[in-house]
Structure 1
Amino acid sequence: MRIRPRRRAAVRPLHRVVSAGVALLLIVPAYGCRPALTPPGAPTAWPAGQSRQWQWQWQLTGPLDLAVQADVFLLDPVATTAAETAELRSRDRRLICQVHVGSVRSTDPDANRFPHVVHGSTGPRPDSRWLDVRSWDALQPVLADRFRLCRGKGFGAVALADADGYAFRTGFPLDFDDQLLFNRRLAELARSLSLSPGLVNDVPQLAALAPDFDFVVNEECVRLAQCAKLLPFADAGKPVFHVEYSGSTDDFCVTTVGYGFASIRKDRALDASREACPLP
């Protein structure tokens, strides 16, 4: 009977073992070096326990000031560069992109993708038109790409602007329920693309939409005597990012911080300047 020689156990070269170990050290970050950042495109988390502690900045014009002492930045996804969002993210800032979902301007890069039939009367921005939000099949592909632009640049949340056309003369017979359906579809679309959805204004619908959205951005609830209508978000531990364009922070901060809002005073141009209310 032939005796088969025993096979020698394979020995991995030492240099391969060392290389693998070095690679692992490079890939896995050391614990405690810095707070873990949310990956680009992942939805922003808004812990309820921090809802009264946010400081925020809203800048849509002028050179972006990266040094503003704020936790949350609401920015234009077209004008903001990926390098700027990367820099802010490296400082653990939360980033929200503002997307106009109910209107289009002729200068928008994707303006020619909206069929003429969904163009309504003069919109809220210069050189803009309201959109027929009942035409979901026509609007959804364009708005989805606007959301994807946000995700691709590293934003984790999206704020829906002009999402209240039913309250204006849009050229279409839009009603309250048309807008509710459209806004809920947009919230679902944002979540499907790993973005946290928020609303800009649309105050009369906030109570109905609070379960669908993660935060709200409000303009001038003090001047317009509407702050109490934002409480469905604040009471649910969801951020209320509030701005006033007139008056003194000494006057309105007492009210809005008491409600649990993150409040600032800015110029209507929404450049880098800002006055923030103190945290509670």
Structure 2
Amino acid sequence: MRAHGFAGTTRGSRALPVAVLILLALLAGCTSAPEPAGKDHWRPEPGTRWQWQLSGRLDPTVDVPVYDIDGFDHKASAVADLHRRGRKVICYLSTGAWEDFRPDAGKFPASVRGKGNGWEGEYWLDIRRTDILEPLMERRIEMCAEKGFDAVEPDNMDGYRNRTGFPLTAADQLRYNRLVARLAHRHGLAVGLKNDLGQIPELEPDFDFAVNEQCAQYDECEELTPFVKAGKAVFHVEYELPVARFCADSRRLGLSSLLKKYELGVWRQECPKGRARNG
């Protein structure tokens, strides 16, 4: 919080009495205004090592500085334990899809639930309906903040490129993604852009890092360069390519890359250390 300063004023040649100036200065010192949204939140740097675990019993012993874990599945005590081990902790949330297994699932009316997104129990949301979704997503982000997380990974942020059951446009997606970023910053959390490669040029300034799946498999990793050039980490995973197929390019591009299994359990294979390839 930043207190407003006070400067004494005069009218003509007549100054305010000293006692009045002292009183006003004291009152001004008690007056404060919020800092700009997201001013002091965390921003991971390119190449930061990480672990992404969304299933199974949490293993807090992987020796990396960043963990990305499910926000609903873990208590504040798990986040605090990771902090004691020197980790920053990202809160995974789905902000673009309705999940029928979440404790707040009943608060999402049928009118905003669309087609399945390919994962059991998950359905695309009508992101145009911010009148309904904004308070629901803000409560989820508040939950992350209350548990002590450092950042949010909002998932399913590219519905406009999928068959959602709604006529979503690129403009709809930009508005919604920026809304999610503002909500995270409002609660003092960093926020990552998940996938949505086509809108990186517009959205990079709104986000503090990126999370990407399979850019190497689909030959898209170069599109993440704006984040790296801005000094922001790109947390990247592949599922189907061996590390020998993507690690050299990952080092060249400055990505934080892992090989994971689709269930995103404990298992991980990190790119071996090596010299970046010119190209």
Please report the TM-score for the alignment, with normalisation by the length of structure 1. Answer: 0.81
Q: Which residue of 2 aligns with 1:14?
A: none
Kindly indicate whether the alpha-carbon contact (under 8 Å) linking 1:43 and 1:156 is maintained by their aligned counterparts in 2: no
Alignment of 1:76-95 (within 5 A): 76-95=70-89
Answer yes or no: is 1:139 the counterpart of 2:133.
Answer: yes
Match of 1:235 among 223, 229, 240: 229
Alignment of 1:35-184 (within 5 A): 44-46=41-43, 50-52=45-47, 54-184=48-178
Match of 1:67, SS state, is coil
Q: Deviations over 1:141-192 (max 9, x none)?
A: 1111110111111101001100111011111110000000110111111100
Q: Which runs of 5+ in 2 are unaligned?
A: 1-37, 275-279
Q: Deviations over 1:206-238 (max 9, x none)?
A: 121001100110011111100011111111111
Q: Which amino acid aligns with 1:45?
A: W
Kindly indicate whether the alpha-carbon contact (under 8 Å) linking 1:42 and 1:195 is maintained by their aligned counterparts in 2: no
Aligned residues: percent identity?
A: 41
Number of residue pairs the alignment of both structures matches: 237
Deviation at 1:112, TM superposition (A): 1.1
Match of 2:167, SS state, is coil
Instruction: Name the CA distance, whole Å, in 1 between partners of 2:153 and 2:251.
Output: 21
Instruction: Name the CA distance, whole Å, in 1 between partners of 2:91 and 2:40.
Output: 12
Instruction: Name the CA distance, whole Å, in 2 between partners of 1:108 and 1:145.
Output: 13
Answer yes or no: is 1:268 the counterpart of 2:267.
Answer: no
Match of 1:194, SS state, is coil
Deviation at 1:246, TM superposition (A): 2.0
- 4+ residue runs over 2 A deviation: 41-44
Kindly indicate whether the alpha-carbon contact (under 8 Å) linking 1:120 and 1:132 is maintained by their aligned counterparts in 2: yes
Kindly indicate whether the alpha-carbon contact (under 8 Å) linking 1:43 and 1:196 is maintained by their aligned counterparts in 2: no
Match of 1:138, SS state, is helix
Q: Which amino acid aligns with 2:139?
A: D
Instruction: Name the CA distance, whole Å, in 2 between partners of 1:210 and 1:154.
Output: 25
Instruction: Name the CA distance, whole Å, in 1 between partners of 2:245 and 2:198.
Output: 25
Larger radius of gyration: 1
